[in-house]
Amino acid sequence: MRTMKGRDLLTLSDYTKEELEKILQLSLSMKHDVKCGNYTRPYLSGKSVILLFQKPSTRTRLSFDVGVHQLGGHPIYLNWNDLQLGRGETIADTARTFDAYADGIVARVFKHTDLEIMAENARAPVINALSDLAHPCQALGDCLTIIEKKGKIEGTNVVFVGDGNNNVCRSLAEAVLKLGGNMTIASPNKYQISQSYADYIKKGAAKGSSLTLMEDPKAAVKDADVIYTDVWVSMGQEAEKEERMVAFRPYQVNSELLSNAPSDVIVMHCLPAHRGLEITDEVIDGKNSVVWDQAENRLHAQKGIMALLI
């Protein structure tokens, strides 16, 4: 296995099944340590990690901040608009400057290509904390949750209901396929995962995994082990709000949809949730929901990622 030290994590595509499993294994063991009261493993001792955010965040920002701290490092939160970036300094020059001081760069951006520019100009690993294209750290945390709740990803039926072409769905599909699961995406045709991205992630898929695209959410959840949803309007898509609200209305994850799924299905949402839109109170607060474990696992998964990459 190639060393992961120094590598960027912009999407999951540069990582093999074995590498993803290694990250998940380390994350699980670090979670176990935390549960036993042992918070710190000094993987990042003496190191500084920049957390650069161009969009709002609650979970990602906090879990990276706490994660760096628990690994013995120093997290530095930076808001994009507070930097000279906001006044026009280039991303390349900013990345070179970051490189002069810090050992790792975690960044949430609007345009995925901005992450690529950062990665080209910094030797320090660049970790995607969400872009318009992908949310790989979310997907790894989610895989941790699926493994904990369902025992494994291999052969597990994961059904995403909603905006099939968004960052969270793309990275989840990529992870599930790579780890040998079955991914179904129920989405209106107009918002279904793009054919080009579907073809791209199928190339990295494990033997025995499958990707099924469909429109009907009820038929999609029939054999689901996991039902997953996310917002209908992602950050940066606000101008499309009216049209999206109409298109996704039949894709709400509610009790009626759940009645079509096996009774032990788990319900996941990356959060933040718009209660009453993509998911009802009854479901997100109900017995099938694992959203709080899922949010917690962001911390453990990202510690695994940082320990191996930085």
**Which residues are marked as active site?**
108, 135, 138, 230, 270, 298
CA distance 173 to 181: 9
How many Å apart are CA 246 and CA 242, to the nearest integer?
7
- The C-alpha atoms of residue 141 and residue 70 are separated, in whole angstroms, by 17
- 58 makes contact, choosing from ligand CP, ligand NVA, none, with CB < 5 to 8 Å by partner type, with ligand CP
Give the footprint of ligand NVA on residues 117-146 (CB under 6 A): 130
Instruction: Compare residues 146 and 205 and give the one whose CB is closer to ligand CP.
Output: 146
Is residue 168 a contact residue for ligand NVA (CB under 6 A)? yes
Residues 194 to 233 in contact with ligand NVA, rule: CB under 6 A: 230-231
Distance, in Å, from the CA atom of 297 to the CA atom of 241, rounded to the nearest integer, reads 30
* SS3 call for 218: helix
Q: Least distance (Å) from ligand NVA to the CB of residue 243?
A: 16
H or E element that contains 60: helix 59-70
The residue count of the chain comes to 310
User: What is the spatial distance between Cα 165 and Cα 262, in angstroms, rounded to a whole number?
Assistant: 26
CB atoms within 10 A of CB 234: 19
- Cβ nearer to ligand NVA, comparing 4 with 10: 10
Q: Can residue 271 be called a binding residue for ligand CP (CB under 6 A)? A: yes
Nearer to ligand CP, 61 or 69 (CB): 61
Nearest to ligand NVA of 43, 191 (CB atom): 191
Q: Which residue is nearest to ligand CP (CB)?
A: 60
Cβ closest to ligand CP, residue 130 vs residue 158: 130
Q: Which of 270, 284, 299, 305 binds ligand CP (CB under 6 A)?
A: 270
Q: Which of 70, 121, 156, 234 binds ligand NVA (CB under 6 A)?
A: 234
* Radius of gyration of the chain, Cα coordinates, nearest whole angstrom: 19
Please report how the helices 136-150 and 17-35 are oriented relative to each other, as an axis angle in degrees rounded to 10.
Answer: 70
Report the DSSP beta bridge partners of residue 52.
Answer: 78, 107
Burial class (CB in 10 A: 0-12, 13-18, 19+), 101: exposed
Closest to ligand NVA by CB, 79 or 255 = 79
Partner in contact with 230, chosen from ligand NVA, ligand CP, none, beta carbon below 5 to 8 Å by kind: ligand NVA
143 binds, among ligand NVA, ligand CP, none (CB under 5 to 8 A by kind): none
Q: Report residue 186 as tokens.
A: 């129920």
210-269 residues near ligand CP, rule: CB under 6 A? none
Number of residues that bind ligand CP (CB under 6 A): 9
* Residues sharing a CB contact under 8 Å with residue 214, sequence separation 6 or more, in sequence order: 184, 185, 186, 220
Position 130 contacts ligand CP (CB under 6 A): yes
Phi, psi of 171 (to 5 degrees): -70, -35
Q: Tell me, by CB under 6 A, how many residues bind ligand NVA.
A: 9
Q: Which stretches of the chain bind ligand CP, using CB under 6 A?
A: 57-60, 130, 138, 270-272
Q: Which stretches of the chain bind ligand NVA, using CB under 6 A?
A: 130, 166-168, 230-231, 234-235, 270
